């Protein structure tokens, strides 16, 4: 319905929530009401092409409508179809004969508004939006940082220092009436925003002072979730306001992951460690394993194949800068061709429009190639769970990694605030349950409860498997956690004291409670109320510094749990007589059969024989099925000599996750001289960190070695390895000689090691290399050979850094 509005007020309402826009004071003002009481007053305005649209604005007309929508949530607080109904009013305003609009939404869980700029708009500057609440309000905030990793804390508004605060921020405006301020629906046409507090009001402050816009530009939604804490916890308003996903949107596989970085920061460089964490994920029945920094393309396919037999998917870490630009984005298709399921991208650390355009690019490319995304060092969720369901989680929180970086405990108070603030707006990759965290002030029960209290589309359990195994009750409970949730409720709590959250998976409820108080308290919950009848309960809590369990059957009354100081507990509630424990492990499946692990591209194509039902080929290759059941693979253009293409062979596996094997296709080497250090590895193993190309071994981190240097002389190319290493190359082709030097790097000047060269698996040359001596030269005949292996082992001492220098294959 559209009508002229000569009056100075228009309104929209939904149940007991009401929004009123007026222009009585010369500037448009929105008042938001809950149960007829004002909870927030918002002055409106934005600078466009050099002037403030809010000064002297007049209402021209308004149009009311009902927005009814539904969308499929693939992860989050409750999976399944979500139904949305909002009352919307579009208010047309005029300022100095310039027409612009304010669009207001009112829903069952809060309010939202946005600006539609004039058709002539070209430059948007300062936003004049100012949010005021009762001066006696209490706030839970974090000091603004573009990656949202400062501690959250509570403060009475009158005591809150003036400054910059990040979204979402929570305000208790009156008893059991709360407002959560955030935003939604951002892409590369805008920049992110935060709140500037002047001691009385919050001003919405975009990251960019000004941005170029097109006419009729729509700003992001400014969102005010409003209601009780129970309303806030269950709100999906930020997602509901976001644009709908496309019809072919990539749907993720949510679930639980093993992750080695937290307990061992250089572990991403070691295949054997990643297999150990994969084995634990298999024990637990989890879905994923994350390989953080340091992974090597030589062994990632092997890990993918190893994990796939148990239905476990592999995710890889990358810095955002390594995926910046069209050329770098091509890596994503390559990783997906290995069978990798997702990526964790890190260190974006910006809210600028330029960085949101980067987000647009990587979100589009990951969706195209079929990778899910977990953003770290990132912005907070702003509705992408709906628009881009394959964006499965974000960091945007001071999480467990801060134990590693700073050795400072994450306070229980900080943890308790999160379910009422940060986690309300979307998935939160805190990486919880770190029993071995140094100087931890939280109890074991508190740590275990974070697995339920916090929600993430992919939850990375951060501690070492042995820490979980040493607490069998914890390991058993973590195995029971479902990959997705059907419902969430706040049972009890307040951001200053504790949070008791219940999440339902089918007929079972999982309860987690974390406390912030330094004294012992008692928390109660009613299982029968959750189930709708008698219930069986399995609860795990703290007792004398250890986890203990209580099992109860046929419970009808409230259950009381004694909460240790800064403690917590978990519980599973099921209908009486239904099984409480249902965890199972997935049996290992046979991987597709392959006849050869390396085949040579001698002509225009190559045939691979396998019982696989599907193939993934790397970019630049195509595959067709032969009449005899084999696969013919053909490159779209001839690869460079020495190129080693990885082909993934798939067969049906667990939970629609294929079980895979790999074949490598070698483009033969030619007589032209080849720098061996630049060739791809068939396999690589190194005792200390990854094999370094063009650098000495260094420590355990990728690219941490110094220049290749022996007795003060620098070398331009080569490989830096440690005292235990093995590197295999495929060298089929017309080359006949392998030459180079081997030495101890100046990083370990007193070390001694053994260096060996194997041709087709046969030992051909062996050297004892000593620090402080000149490099030892070699020339090895390799004519007609298929593989070349460089191997090192310790001679005496604890550690040696060995350099393979100026390595060449030639005729």
Instruction: Over range 438-465, report the average pLDDT.
Output: 97
pLDDT at 791 over 60: yes
The CA–CA distances, whole Å, from 341 to 247, 316, 724 equal 21, 8, 31
Q: What is the pLDDT of residue 263?
A: 97
Q: Are 67 and 112 in contact (CB under 8 A)?
A: no
In the sheet where 2-4 sits, what is the strand order? Answer: 2-4, 58-73, 80-95, 98-107, 110-116, 221-227, 177-184, 169-174, 138-142, 152-156
User: Exposed/middle/buried for 602, CB within 10 Å: 0-12, 13-18, 19+?
Assistant: exposed
pLDDT at 789 over 90: yes
d(CA 378, CA 243): 20
Q: What is the pLDDT of residue 607?
A: 94
Residue with tokens 């589309």: 457
**For residue 3, what pLDDT band results from cuts at 50, 70 and 90?**
low
DSSP-assigned letters across all residues of 595-610: S-SEEE--SS-EEE-B
Q: In 3D, which of 603, 682, 690 has the Cα closest to residue 644? A: 682
pLDDT digit string (tens) for 591-649?
999 989 999 999 999 999 999 999 999 999 999 998 888 899 999 999 999 999 999 99
**Beta strands 621-625 and 51-52, pairing class:** unpaired
pLDDT digit string (tens) for 555-606?
999 999 999 999 999 999 999 999 999 999 999 999 999 989 999 999 999 9
Q: What is the pLDDT of residue 10?
A: 96
pLDDT digit string (tens) for 196-220?
999 999 999 999 999 999 999 999 9
d(CA 508, CA 477): 13
DSSP SS3 for 305? helix
Strands (E), 416-563: 458-461, 487-494, 498-505, 508-515, 521-525, 535-543, 546-555, 559-563
Strands (E), 579-638: 598-600, 606-608, 614-616, 621-625, 631-635
* pTM, rounded to two decimals: 0.96
pLDDT at 1 over 70: no
Q: What is the pLDDT of residue 6?
A: 52
Instruction: Over range 734-761, report the average pLDDT.
Output: 97
Q: What is the pLDDT of residue 366?
A: 98
Q: What is the pLDDT of residue 672?
A: 85
Return the structure tokens found at 59: 């209402």
Does 346 participate in catalysis according to the annotation? Answer: yes
The DSSP letter of residue 176 is: T
The CA–CA distances, whole Å, from 545 to 444, 453, 548 equal 8, 21, 9
What percent of the chain has a predicted confidence (pLDDT) above 70? 99
**For residue 449, what pLDDT band results from cuts at 50, 70 and 90?**
very high
Does 210 participate in catalysis according to the annotation? Answer: no
Q: What is the pLDDT of residue 629?
A: 80
Instruction: Over range 168-172, report the average pLDDT.
Output: 98
Half-sphere exposure for 371 (CA within 13 Å, toward CB): 29
Q: What is the pLDDT of residue 797?
A: 78
φ, ψ for residue 271, nearest 5 deg: -60, -40
Average model confidence (pLDDT) across the chain: 96
The number of beta carbons lying within 10 Å of the beta carbon of residue 564 is 22
**Catalytic site residue from 187, 401, 643, 650:** 401
pLDDT digit string (tens) for 113-142?
999 999 999 999 999 999 999 999 999 999
What percent of the chain has a predicted confidence (pLDDT) above 90? 95
User: Quick check: bond before 748 cis, omega within 30?
Assistant: no
**Catalytic site residue from 296, 346, 447, 455:** 346
In 370-411, which ranges are continuous DSSP H helix? Answer: 384-387, 401-406
pLDDT digit string (tens) for 41-98?
999 999 999 999 999 999 999 999 999 999 999 999 999 999 999 999 999 999 999 9
């Amino acid at each position: 319905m559209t009508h002229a509005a000569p009056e100075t007020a228009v309104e929209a309402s939904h149940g007991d929530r009401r929004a009123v826009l007026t222009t009585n004071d010369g500037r448009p003002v929105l008042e938001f009401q809950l149960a007829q009481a004002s909870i927030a007053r918002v002055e409106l305005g934005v600078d466009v092409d050099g002037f403030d649209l809010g000064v002297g604005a007049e209402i021209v007309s308004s149009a009311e409508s009902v927005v009814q929508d539904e969308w499929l949530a693939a992860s989050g607080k409750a999976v399944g179809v979500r139904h949305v109904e909002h009352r919307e009013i579009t208010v047309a305003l005029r300022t100095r004969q310039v027409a612009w609009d304010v669009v207001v939404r009112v829903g069952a869980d809060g309010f939202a508004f946005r600006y539609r700029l004039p058709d002539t708009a070209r430059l948007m500057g300062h936003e004049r939006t100012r949010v005021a609440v009762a001066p006696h309000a209490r706030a839970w905030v974090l000091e603004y940082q573009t990656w949202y990793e400062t501690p959250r804390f509570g403060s009475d508004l009158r005591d809150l220092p003036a400054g910059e605060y990040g979204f979402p921020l929570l305000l208790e405006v009156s008893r059991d009436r709360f407002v959560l301020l955030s935003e939604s629906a951002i892409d590369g046409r805008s920049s992110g925003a935060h709140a500037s507090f002047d001691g009385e009001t919050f001003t919405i402050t975009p990251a960019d002072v000004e941005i170029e816009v097109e006419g009729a530009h729509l700003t992001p939604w400014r969102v005010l979730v409003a209601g009780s804490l129970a309303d806030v916890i269950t709100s999906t308003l930020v997602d509901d306001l976001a644009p709908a996903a496309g019809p072919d949107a990539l749907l993720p596989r949510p679930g639980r992951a093993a992750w080695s970085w937290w307990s061992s920061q250089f572990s991403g460089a070691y295949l054997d460690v990643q297999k150990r964490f994969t084995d634990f994920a298999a024990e637990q029945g989890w879905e994923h394993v994350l390989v953080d920094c340091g992974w090597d393309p030589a062994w990632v396919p092997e890990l993918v194949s190893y994990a796939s037999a148990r239905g476990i998917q592999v995710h890889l870490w990358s810095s955002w800068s390594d995926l910046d630009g069209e050329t770098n984005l091509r890596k994503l298709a390559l990783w997906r061709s290995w069978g990798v399921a997702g990526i964790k991208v890190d260190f974006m650390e910006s809210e600028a429009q330029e960085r949101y355009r980067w987000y647009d690019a990587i979100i589009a490319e990951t969706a195209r190639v079929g990778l899910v995304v977990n953003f770290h060092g990132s912005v907070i969720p702003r509705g992408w769970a709906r628009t881009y369901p394959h964006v499965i989680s974000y960091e945007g929180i001071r999480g467990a990694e801060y134990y590693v970086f700073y050795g400072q405990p994450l306070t229980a108070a900080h943890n308790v605030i999160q379910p009422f603030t940060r986690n309300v707006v979307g998935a939160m990759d805190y990486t919880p349950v770190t029993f071995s965290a140094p100087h931890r002030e939280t109890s074991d029960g508190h740590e275990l409860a974070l697995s339920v209290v916090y929600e993430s589309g992919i939850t990375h359990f951060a501690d070492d498997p042995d820490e979980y195994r040493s607490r069998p009750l914890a390991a058993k409970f973590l195995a029971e956690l479902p990959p997705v949730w059907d419902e969430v409720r706040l049972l009890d709590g307040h951001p200053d004291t504790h949070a008791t959250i219940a999440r339902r998976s089918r007929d079972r409820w999982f309860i987690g409670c974390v406390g912030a108080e330094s004294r012992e308290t008692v928390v109660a919950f009613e299982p029968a109320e959750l189930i709708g009848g008698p219930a069986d309960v399995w609860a795990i809590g703290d007792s004398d510094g250890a986890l203990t369990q209580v099992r109860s059957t046929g419970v009808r009354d409230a259950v009381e749990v004694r909460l240790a100081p800064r403690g917590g507990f978990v519980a599973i509630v099921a209908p009486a007589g239904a099984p409480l424990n249902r965890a199972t492990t997935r049996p290992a499946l046979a991987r597709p059969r392959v006849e050869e692990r390396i085949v040579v591209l001698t002509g225009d194509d190559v045939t691979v024989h396998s019982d696989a039902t599907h193939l993934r080929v790397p970019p630049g290759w195509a595959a067709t099925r032969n009449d005899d059941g084999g696969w013919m693979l053909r490159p779209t253009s001839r690869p460079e000599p020495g190129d080693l293409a990885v082909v993934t062979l798939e067969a049906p596996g667990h939970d629609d996750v294929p079980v895979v094997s790999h074949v490598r296709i070698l483009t033969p080497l030619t007589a032209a001289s080849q720098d061996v250090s630049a060739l791809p590895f068939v396999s690589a193993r190194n005792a200390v960190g990854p094999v370094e190309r063009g650098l000495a071994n260094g420590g355990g981190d990728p690219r941490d070695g110094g220049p290749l240097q022996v007795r003060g002389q620098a070398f331009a190319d080569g490989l830096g390895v440690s005292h235990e290493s093995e590197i295999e190359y495929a060298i089929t082709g017309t080359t006949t000689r392998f030459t180079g030097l081997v030495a101890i790097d100046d990083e370990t000047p007193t070390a001694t090691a053994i260096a060996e060269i194997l041709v087709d698996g046969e030992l051909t040359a062996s050297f004892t290399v000593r620090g402080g001596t000149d490099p030892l030269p070699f020339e090895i005949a390799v004519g007609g050979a298929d593989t070349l292996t460089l191997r090192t082992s310790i001679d005496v001492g604890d550690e040696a850094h060995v350099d393979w220098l100026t390595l060449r294959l030639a005729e």
